[in-house]
Amino acid sequence: MKFYNRERELEALEKSFGLTDTRSSLVIITGRRRIGKTRLVKEFFSRKNIPYLDFFVSVKEERLLLEDFREEIEEKLGYSPKFESFEDFMNFLFRTQDRTAVFFDEFQNFLKINPSIVHDFQKFWDRYKEDKKFFIVLSGSYIGMMRKVFLLRRSPLYGRSDLYIDLKPLKPGTVFQMLDDMGVKDFEEKIKFYGVFGGVPKYYEYLELFKEENFFDFLEQMLRFSSILQSEGEALLIEEFGRAHKIYFSILEAIASGRNTLVEIANAISQKPTTITKYLKSLEDYFNLISREKPVLEKRAKKSRYIISDYFLNFWFTFIRKNQGLVETENYDALIKKIEANFSTYFGRIFERVVRDILVELNQRGVVEFEEIGPQWGKAKKGSYEIDLVGIKGDKALFVEVKWRDGVNAEAILNDLKEKVDLTKWKGKKEFLIIAKSFKKRANGAICWDLRDLERLLLRG
């Protein structure tokens, strides 16, 4: 598949590589599995025509992994001794080499093989980083384990990197261009793809295999002929959570099912709120898997709700894990029917998040303007209210309603939105934006964008 975007990351890698004119440079790249870390590194080395030693740290016996490393060195350098230990390997690498580029992929796996290896690396790096001119890139998928190695103050490699890249999902505009290049031309289908697979490029590689333009046709092919949909959630998370994975999974299932507050989540999994607080904090701050939303117009609000940040994991917990019996019996027809029957309801909330991502990208391009954006909800004398999104800039606020429906009457939506805005007690200037799949009637006094408008605005950039 063609390499998309990541120009800022490539530029940062080039600057770090430039440090090797005078000393060694260490780069750390983290991010969820399949986000494109390995592809980024190899694209950089390929564009710069830089030869490098490529060490993939697979979880296996030490002597077998050392043999893999020996073979890579012999292939690239023409000679390699036999290593009896990783200290031998590090000793050879750092003492005999110079002006060498080295890539350790899935570096965190050393913790599973032998944690002392990380300390060996630290020892040799500290000894030779000033005298030699290595360019070393360490990447890893498991966020929690990478934090143990690099980000905690007691971590063996804390503070030693020249560049730290936390690789994020691709922006919607890039994903839509990718889909277009792969034959998916209908913008509604593109929205569905993005709302399920997000900005994770690896998932879209399967379009080259299955060549389906329709989202549900593609989903069926993925279920029948790929293990990605069936087991991806467990593959991504069980290694992260370890022995505590059951309670973490239960919390994520509860959030995916719409239990979004602390009390609702605790009740859903039959736990006390005080018991699960530490797990929620870990999911948010340590594993970066959930986000806590607060009403954007209320700076000191104590109320909050949780969402699963990752589009694919949210889909997986909602439809795949929930229907594990159908997956295990390979009853894919029934599973697809269940997904199709409930998809519009599910996607109504997801579309709000997709729109938020699109608006953030349009804000970066100067099409819209705001300093922060998020949902707004609360209670008033007239009852509870919720506004999908509010973008704020100074004393101006853009109030946004999002509908995953065709034939929307925007005037009725605008009247309802204005009533809810009055409940917020916002005193500044007000603008209104209504976004829908299509409109039966647009409204005076509001910006109205359908899917064609969104596509045009993104393409204009």
DSSP string across 142-188: -HHHHIIIIISTTSTTTT--SEEEEPPPPPHHHHHHHHHHTT---HH
pLDDT exceeds cutoff 60 at 461: no
Alpha-carbon span 157 to 30, nearest angstrom:
14
pLDDT of residue 273: 94
| Percent of the chain whose predicted confidence (pLDDT) is above 90 | 79
Closest CA to 288 of 394, 406, 166: 166
Mean pLDDT of 420-443: 95
Q: What is the pLDDT of residues 67-97, one digit of tens each?
A: 999 999 999 999 999 999 999 999 999 999 9
pLDDT of residue 200: 94
Q: What is the pLDDT of residues 50-62, one digit of tens each?
A: 999 999 999 999 9
Q: How far is CA 448 from CA 160, 195, 409, in A?
A: 50, 21, 10
Residue with tokens 């009055």: 422
Mean pLDDT of 289-315: 91
Closest CA to 390 of 378, 380, 400: 400
pLDDT band at 185 (very low <50, low <70, confident <90, very high): very high
pLDDT of residue 212: 85
pLDDT exceeds cutoff 90 at 127: yes
pLDDT exceeds cutoff 80 at 144: no
pLDDT of residue 203: 92
Alpha-carbon span 196 to 306, nearest angstrom:
18
pLDDT band at 232 (very low <50, low <70, confident <90, very high): confident
pLDDT of residue 331: 93
Q: What is the pLDDT of residues 381-425, one digit of tens each?
A: 777 899 999 999 999 999 999 999 999 999 999 999 999 999 998
pLDDT of residue 32: 86
pLDDT of residue 159: 84
pLDDT exceeds cutoff 90 at 299: no
Mean pLDDT of 164-179: 94
pLDDT exceeds cutoff 80 at 206: yes
Cβ 447 vs Cβ 434: under 8 Å: yes
pLDDT exceeds cutoff 90 at 438: yes
Alpha-carbon span 179 to 172, nearest angstrom:
10
pLDDT of residue 348: 94
* Residue that wins the pLDDT comparison between 106 and 301: 106
* Residue that wins the pLDDT comparison between 115 and 19: 19
Mean pLDDT of 289-313: 91
pLDDT exceeds cutoff 80 at 190: yes
Amino acid at 35: I
Mean pLDDT of 237-244: 79
pLDDT exceeds cutoff 70 at 63: yes
Mean pLDDT of 417-446: 95
- Can you list the domains of the chain with their CATH numbers? 7-166 (3.40.50.300), 172-226 (no CATH), 230-330 (1.10.10.10), 352-460 (3.40.1350.10)
From 134-143, 238-247, 271-280, 293-302, the region with the lowest mean pLDDT: 238-247
pLDDT exceeds cutoff 80 at 147: no
The per-residue pLDDT of the chain, averaged, comes to: 92
Tell me, what DSSP letter sits at residue 323?
G
CA triple 59-64-67, angle to 5 deg: 125
Closest CA to 333 of 223, 243, 200: 223
Decide: pTM greater than 0.85: yes
pLDDT exceeds cutoff 60 at 453: yes
